Amino acid sequence: MCESPVPEPRRSFLTRLVVAGAALIGAGVAGLAGAVVTPRTRATAKRWRPAASMFDLPPNAPFVATLTERHADGWHQTRKESVVFIDKVGDGYRALSATCTHLGCRVAWDGAESRYKCPCHGGIFDRTGAVVSGPPPRGLDTIAVRLNPETADLEVEI
């Protein structure tokens, strides 16, 4: 006919128990999923790498150096390439990252206007890397550069 009545306190206790149990399982699964999808980041230490010979630098344009290194991309080995602009400034040198500070596109040197230009959203930088116009929030990132007197190589820290 009808179920034997369960005392109200016990019923609400059971309700809480079931909800708490389900929440526990849910939290466990969410925790696992969260841990799995959060990438493991290994900080790669910067090191000095030869980018150009000092004799490579053209007189009136920056030198475009492409640095390649082996790079573990998940389970497969690939090559990671970074592009750096190297310029002679007085007695020293200047190295600029070719990655636009706006949204990360690759900027290119426009010799006719002596400007770095980003093809994506029209950011323009002068030869020192400072923003001339467009959306970039700051100038091109500078990269440490030094001359190795033994090899006459210009080395960048990247």
Partner 1 sequence: MRGMAGIFDWLDHRTGFRTLRHHLLDEKLPAGTGWWFTFGSLLLFGLTIQIITGTLLAMFYAPTPDHAWDSVRYITTEVRGGQLLRGLHHWGASLVVVTAVLHLIRVVFFGSYRAPRELNWVVGLVLLHVILAFGLTGYLLPWDQRAYWATVVTINISKLMPVVGETVANLLRGGPDIGAMTLTRWYAVHVLVLPPVLFGLIGLHLYLMRRHGISGPITPQTGESRSFFPYQAGRDLTVALVVGIALAALAWQGAPALEPPADPTSSDYIPRPEWYFLGLFELLKYFPGKLEIVGAIILPGVVMTLLALLPWLDRARTRGLRDRRWLLMTFAAGLVAITTLTVLGAMDKPVSSGDGWNVREQAGAVLLQTGSCATCHDPDGVAGPVDPVRVSRPRSWVASHLVDPEMIAPGLRPAPVADQNAQHDRDALLAALARGRSGSPLPEVNDDGRMAVVFNRHCLRCHVMGPIGGTEGPSLIGVGAKINEAGLIRQITAPLDVKPTGEMPAFGDKLSSDDIAALARWLLRK
Number of residues that bind partner 1 (CB under 8 A): 47
Cβ within 8 Å of residue 68, ≥6 positions away: 79, 80, 81
Q: Does 147 bind partner 1 (CB under 8 A)?
A: no
Nearest CA among 70, 96, 94, 101 for reference residue 83: 96
Q: Does 107 bind partner 1 (CB under 8 A)?
A: yes
Nearer to partner 1, 10 or 42 (CB): 42
Using the rule CB under 8 A, which residue among 131, 143, 156, 158 binds partner 1? 131
Q: Does 151 bind partner 1 (CB under 8 A)?
A: no
Strand partners, 65: 84
Binding mask 25-54 for partner 1 (x = CB under 8 A): ------------xxxxxx-x----------
Dist CA 126 CA 92 (whole Å): 18
Using the rule CB under 8 A, which residue among 11, 12, 32, 81 binds partner 1? 81
In sign, the C-alpha dihedral spanning 151, 81, 102, 38 is negative
Dist CA 124 CA 117 (whole Å): 5
Q: Name the site residues for partner 1 (rule: CB under 8 A).
A: 37-42, 44, 58, 60-61, 64, 66, 68, 71, 73-76, 78-83, 98, 102-112, 119-122, 131, 133-138
